[in-house]
Copies of this chain bind each other. A is one copy, B any other.
Amino acid sequence: MAPDFVLSLSEGPGMSADTPDPPFLAVIFTSKHSGQDVEEYGRVADRMIELAAQQDGYLGIESARSENGPGITVSYWRDEECINAWYRNAEHRDARRRGREKWYEHFHLRVAQVHRTYSSQPRVEET
Q: Enumerate chain A interface residues (CB-CB to B < 8 A).
A: 1-12, 17, 19, 22, 26, 28, 30, 42, 46, 62-66, 69-72, 74, 100, 104, 106-121, 124
Contacts and interface: CB of A to CB of B under 8 A. Distances in A.
Contacts of A12: 1
Contact of A9 (B69, B116, B124): B69
A110 B117 contact: yes
Given A74-B30, A111-B117, A64 B62 contact: no
Nearest to A114: B112
Contact of A111 (B11, B100, B115): B115
Contacts of A64: 7, 64-66, 70-72
A119 B108 CA distance: 4
Nearest to A25: B112
Contact of A112 (B26, B62, B107): B26
A6 B9 contact: no
A26 B2 CA distance: 23
A74 B28 contact: yes
